[in-house]
Structure 1
Amino acid sequence: MKSKRQLLFTCLLPLMVALVIYVLFRSPDTIVNKLIYSLLAIEPPMWRLRYGQWLVYNLPGALWMYAFLWFGSFSRSRLLSLLPLGMALGIELLQLLHITDGTFDILDVGFYLLVLAIFAALGGFRWWGGPKPVRSRRRSITYKALFISFMVIVILSDVWTRP
């Protein structure tokens, strides 16, 4: 069983860093920012970086995917752990085809593949050939609810914007 400390550093911390980057540096027009600003009743700060735009536009997506990959490793389904990569690349493909808001960025694809390599290097796939982890029904429902929540946050923050 994975420890709470591992959960913190592999899942929650990257998500929090990505959220802070979105809130402080990304457009206030993203739905997640509109929700946060309305709930907190504050004006968006909109800080700007002159250099290192990849920190604002590419790193958050990589952090989301890193957290998703580790969170997926908690699942009974081994293929579910690869769902984050499929989602991330799928969103980029939808952006390339202009089916959704956002801009296709080959640097995003590169970051996603780099994150997958880091995940693998840190032992993220070590359980791939071993027995499936045993989970209780309650833990399985909690896992699914959290996974869906993470997906909704990513979609609201990275895909759709409103004018």
Structure 2
Amino acid sequence: MIKKYLVISVALLISLFIYVFYRTEKTLVNEFMIYLISSPMYTSIKADIIHLIPLSPILIYSLPEGLWIFCITLTSKCYYIDVYGRRYDCVYIPLVFCISLEIMQLVHITNGRFDWMDIGISMIFWLIARYTFNRNIEKSHLLTRIDLNTLACLTSYCIVYLAHVIK
């Protein structure tokens, strides 16, 4: 279990690094960074990082979502939810979330632009997470018992809000 959370932490830190230094300053996480260290300092550090570590657009725009899908899949795969008497395996929620988000971008309900690459990379990371770590576990209801694992699962879904672009 510790290994799983170490992998999740590294994946989220890579995503955070990309968001902070390669994405627009108008995301909530970057607004928070600017608030903490000042706009001139942030701009200077960001320019240095971009110069030292150039990244391709796929790494900048698709990898963070793929890593996030990887993380929420790992935290979701040991749970199920009941909706109107039907049991749903939570391991599929990340895929539904990813595709729904891309469709909402396509029809301009949310910020961003529809990208098949995002869906493809997210599906690859979903498959990796789906078939690694705890493959033969007994699933429990997501909200029956709130513990550290449940909180990690729910928190991993909330992290997407930090990537929200402020208009």
Give the TM-score range, shorter chain: 0.7 to 0.9
1:144 deviation in Å? Answer: 4.1
Q: Aligned residue for 2:73?
A: 69
Which has a greater percent of strand? 2
C-alpha offsets along residues 108-153 of structure 1, whole Å, 9 cap, x if unaligned? 01111111222244366x33xx6435998341xx444433332232
Cα distance in 1 for residues equivalent to 2:108 and 2:125: 25
Name 1:153's counterpart in structure 2.
159
Separation in 2, partners of 1:76, 1:52: 37
CA deviation profile, 1:37-78 (whole Å, cap 9, x unmatched): 213444241526766210100001000000110011243556
- In structure 1, distance between residues paired with 2:92 and 2:117: 20
Paired position in structure 1 for 2:85: none
Q: Give the structure 1 partner of residue 84 of structure 2.
A: none
Q: How many residues align?
A: 153
Q: Which moved more, 1:109-118 or 1:60-69?
A: 109-118
Matched, 1:25 2:22: yes
Q: Is 2:8 aligned against 1:39?
A: no
Residue 139 of structure 2 is aligned with which of 132, 141, 154? 132
AA aligned opposite 1:67: C
1:69-101, Cα deviation, whole Å (9 max, x unpaired): 001124355622221111111110100111111
- 8 Å CA contact 1:29–1:161 kept in 2: the answer is yes
Matches within 5 A, 1:96-111: 96-111=106-121
Question: CA, structure 1 residues 131+112, in 2 after alignment: closer, same or farther (shift >3 Å)?
Answer: same
Percentage identity across aligned positions?
24
Structure 1 runs not aligned, ≥5 long: none
Q: Is the 8 A contact 1:65 1:115 kept in 2?
A: yes
Aligned match for 1:87, one of 97, 109, 113: 97
CA distance in 1, matches of 2:63, 2:152: 22
**Which of residues 98, 123, 128 is equivalent to 1:113?**
123
CA RMSD of aligned residues (A): 2.7
**Cα distance in 2, alignment partners of residues 32 and 132 from structure 1:** 33
- Partner of 2:79, secondary structure, is coil
Provide the TM-score with structure 1 as the length reference.
0.78
Aligned equivalents of 1:153 and 1:54: distance in 2?
21
Normalising to structure 2: TM-score of the pair?
Answer: 0.76
